[in-house]
A and B are shown apart, each in its own frame.
Chain A
Amino acid sequence: EAQVTQNPRYLITVTGKKLTVTCSQNMNHEYMSWYRQDPGLGLRQIYYSMNVEVTDKGDVPEGYKVSRKEKRNFPLILESPSPNQTSLYFCASSRGGAGYGYTFGSGTRLTVV
């Protein structure tokens, strides 16, 4: 089944403890991206990648890192999480370009205390 898989689905962590949210897609998509969803602010893009080793900042990149060492994986790294990064996170992928939509993962609900 074609899908985007995020792990974990739920995570509670403490301020300053490094964490990684994994994202993997099995559709051989070129484009991958991360979004966060917050009440009143909607979904905002954090980082995106148009190909292996090509990444770029979205609208709210501060406090996050990403890497794209292989096509299928696009992990989101929080090196020193803070409470303002408590949010619902989504990974998405697409073949890219006009004519192709995005497929989203099931989301990761992160709480930083």
Chain B
Amino acid sequence: GIQVEQSPPDLILQEGANSTLRCNFSDSVNNLQWFHQNPWGQLINLFYIPSGTKQNGRLSATTVATERYSLLYISSSQTTDSGVYFCAVERTAGGTSYGKLTFGQGTILTVHP
């Protein structure tokens, strides 16, 4: 199956700092999502980004599908950004889903005031 590796595993920042999280995947994928798991355990969808670049406020993401990686940028970090960030990928065949997301192990982000 597809392997998904995220780096770094842990990241500690001061409020206001910028950061880049990386997701590498072992095979071609058709779907890629970034999630934020907040301290209450909820998985919040940040981006659906199988290719290209998207921005949403202080967050942006870029996926280079041909090189099998995706990056999540967090600018001017805030304490509320703390939590675990997951990358998840899915393969499809002929436009049909196999019905499964494969998750990386996550990056634990801690933002100090």
The chain A residues found within 8 Å of chain B, CB to CB, are 31, 33, 35, 42-43, 45, 48-50, 56, 58, 88, 90, 92, 94, 96-104, 106-107, 109
A50-B95 Cα distance, complex, nearest whole Å = 13
Asked if A42 and B104 make an inter-chain contact with CB atoms under 8 angstroms apart, the answer reads: yes
Asked if B48 and A96 make an inter-chain contact with CB atoms under 8 angstroms apart, the answer reads: no
The chain B residues found within 8 Å of chain A, CB to CB, are 30-31, 33, 35, 41-43, 45, 48, 50, 86, 88, 90, 92, 95-97, 99-101, 103-106
Asked if A100 and B31 make an inter-chain contact with CB atoms under 8 angstroms apart, the answer reads: yes
A109-B42 Cα distance, complex, nearest whole Å = 11
Asked if A45 and B101 make an inter-chain contact with CB atoms under 8 angstroms apart, the answer reads: yes
The interface residues of chain A lying within 8 Å CB-to-CB of B95 are 97-99
Interchain nearest-CB distance for A36 vs B (Å):
11
A104-B35, A106-B42 as given contacts; A98 in contact with B30, CB under 8 Å = yes
Which A residue sits closest to B29, measured CB to CB? A98
